[in-house]
Chain A
Amino acid sequence: MNLTLGLFLAFIAVTLVITYWAARRSSGAGAYFAASRRISAWQNGVAVAGDYMSAASFLGIAGLIAFFGYDGFMYSVGWLVAYLTVLLVVAEPLRNAGKYTMADVLAYRLRPRPVRAMASLSTLVVSTFYMIAQMVGAGALVSLLLKGSGITFHTAVIGVGILMIVYVVFGGMLATTWVQIIKAILLMTGTILLSILVMAHYGFSFGNFFNAVQHVTYTVGGQQVTKDFLQPGLRFKPPTGALDLISLGIALIFGTAGLPHILVRFYTVPDAKTARISVVWAMVLIGAFYIMTTFLGFGAATIVGRDFIGKNGGNNMSAPLLAQALAGNVFFAFICAIAFATILAVVAGLTISASTSFAHDFWTNVIHKGTERKPGEEVMVSRVAAFFVGAVAISIAIALGPTANVAFLVALAFAVAASANLPVIVLSIFWKRFNTAGAVGGLAVGLLASIVLIVISPSFMGIDTATTAASARHLIQHKAIFPLENPGILSVPLGFIGAVLGTFLGGREPVAEHKFTELQVRANTGIGAEKALAH
């Protein structure tokens, strides 16, 4: 176990050196918020992958496949295909027409104050919910991974929180980017090694491997069952399973292109062409990773077994336990360190996007109507905001405790991104008639619909029995009103309807329509786009 702790400390040391280096290099808002827009295509692609592949992907997806087989793999597919929306629709116009945040593009031709206030709220909701899910997971995992070293859930949450605050407050976007790059490289290395070891276990025969996958034995209610893990339907069962799968797909496919912490990454590159190539880099890495979840998840199901994982930390421990079973404690420590790096890189990305949106959208543009009262104020406010965002996330994660059921928070973040952010981004880029009332309406309806539908869904409401595990307890003891775990199928259309209705109810907005031409020229040609900065 001390080896695990040693690797954790080594990773912390490396990232702190990077933060120190970044802090000395960067000065000014462009450097702090957008790494001077000098990140190259491959660097940004790797960083996007590092920003995106959270502990929920690495540990969560391996666990879902290990426990539910094929249905878990459905998440893997959606998480990659979603990048086509980013590539084809969002990345380039955003880079060309914006500066630091998603709201820049919306506020471009609409009245900035109401639009930015709503967009900032939506950004903070998505980022904070996503972050709390990561923090609770991080605390539980770190205390589990470092079992025996005396590190408790509280210490782990505070430690992770302080580290992410340090990266963001001192190192800004440049340090965050490099933490994400290193994490992505570590994650890919670990995943490739694990996949090779799984295949070596089966004599490098896909026939043997998939044969084992079709005969997975575990215990349900004291009885041994053998299931075919390639068979769909082990998690998403009738009558609502199919609809839930489609709804999940909608949230993933349209939500990724509305995740603020992913979108801000495209401001760190010199131009739209680089942004485009960086999405392709990200797609290569993310796709390769999610294909390999086949080996991680099915490997854990067949080699370690569901019963053993269940007794040794639960489904999130599938990948580390698989490493231990295949190559002993050193490799276990390595995989644990990767999980730790994964969590840190993602929470740092969330912190910077949330604090940037607060400082740039809310403080400067909503409260102070687009002016900085003194140079450097925006960066200063963002640093303070990062500190508070971190402190709030630490407090909530500790208040919820290690056994809180937080899986729904990730679903909620994707749902809000898909239902509130994506419709207004798309409509403001492509629809001339779109106006301020439409943007505010779309954001508000999308946000509200996602939250309400999640609260009345089976992730929140249900009747527990005495044997229900603490981490699966429902917050409201009542039969669920909305039958699906994923609200996307209803909340995304509602977000669009809110935006369109708002537009028509708000009456024509000549300025917005006139500036559409300007936005269209900028978004498509890059004329007038923010340039890379000198150091």
Chain B
Amino acid sequence: MAQQNARPVPINEAGAATAPATGEPDLWDRVAAMDEFKLLLLAKVEFVVPAVIVFVVYYFLLPISVGYFPQFMDKRVGPVNLAYLFALSQFFVAWLIAYLYVRQARKFDDFGKRITNNLEDSPKGGDRP
């Protein structure tokens, strides 16, 4: 990667995007050391890990129940059966998790803003746009 930076027209990810890093090699370490960044990672893990577990478990319950207990899943419920209702519920659960994530993600954005502000306030962060 390093030798690529020396070439005349670097156009992969080692190009313009890393401009702050070339003038200031410890930018990433400085951010990583900030409390806000640690809190951001923690907040993400605290939401994303349980959310992924919930949706993966809930989703695979469908093929497992339908595949191994077809008689039970064919039980009538109103005009339909349990299998169809369970499948339909997957859509609403997916939408609900997406909604909760977007709501939670506002917190992540706030942390992000505070990190950028911290960088701008500190004298070394002047190269941020």
Residues of A within 8 A of B (CB): 29, 70, 73-74, 76-78, 80-81, 83-85, 87-89, 97-99, 104, 107-108, 111-112, 206-207, 209-211, 228, 230-233, 236, 241-243, 245-246, 248-249, 253, 273, 276-277, 279-280, 283-284, 287, 290-291, 360, 364-365, 369-372, 375, 378, 511, 515, 517-518, 520-522, 524-531
Contacts and interface: CB of A to CB of B under 8 A. Distances in A.
Most chain B CB atoms below 10 A, which of A78, A98, A232, A369 = A232
Given A287-B91, A527-B31, A249 B101 contact: no
A76 B59 CA distance: 12
Given A81-B90, A527-B115, A230 B83 contact: yes
B17 A530 contact: yes
B87 A77 contact: yes
10 contacts: A73-B87, A99-B12, A231-B83, A232-B67, A242-B67, A283-B94, A360-B12, A371-B4, A511-B1, A529-B17
Contacts of A372: 9, 11
Interface in B77-129: 79-81, 83-84, 87-88, 90-91, 94-95, 97-99, 101-102, 105, 108-109, 112, 115-116, 119, 128-129
A99 B37 contact: no
A231 B72 CA distance: 10
Contacts of B115: 525, 527
A210 B37 contact: no
Interface in B35-76: 37, 40-41, 44, 48, 51-52, 55-56, 59-60, 62-64, 66-68, 70, 73-74
A517 B29 contact: yes
Given A98-B13, A211-B79, A245-B63, A525 B116 contact: yes
> For the complex, would chain A's binding face be called helix, strand, loop or mixed by DSSP majority?
helix
Contacts of B9: 371-372, 375
B74 A232 contact: yes
Contact of A112 (B12, B16, B62, B102): B12
Q: Enumerate the 9 nearest inter-chain pairs by beta-carbon distance, A residue then B residue, closest first.
A: A242-B67, A245-B63, A518-B28, A210-B79, A370-B4, A232-B66, A521-B31, A371-B7, A245-B67
A511 B119 CA distance: 25
A29 B11 CA distance: 10
B11 A371 contact: yes
A280 B18 contact: no
Contacts of B109: 273
Nearest to B87: A77
A206 B79 contact: yes
B8 interface: yes
Contacts of B17: 99, 528-530
A370 B67 contact: no
A287 B88 CA distance: 10
B11 A87 contact: no
Given A84-B94, A276-B102, A230 B12 contact: no
B62 A77 contact: yes
B91 A107 contact: no
A246 B60 contact: yes
A77 B40 contact: no
A201 B112 CA distance: 53
A382 to B, nearest CB: 12
A290 B91 contact: yes
Nearest to B115: A525
B81 to A, nearest CB: 5
Most chain B CB atoms below 10 A, which of A211, A246, A290 = A246
B55 A81 contact: yes
Contacts of A525: 31, 37, 40, 112, 115-116
Contact of B11 (A81, A211, A291, A364): A364
A378 B112 contact: no
Contact of B98 (A108, A280, A522, A524): A280
B87 to A, nearest CB: 5
Contacts of A277: 102
A416 B124 CA distance: 45
Most chain A CB atoms below 10 A, which of B7, B13, B48 = B13
Contact of A521 (B8, B13, B28, B97): B28
Contact of A253 (B12, B56, B73, B99): B56
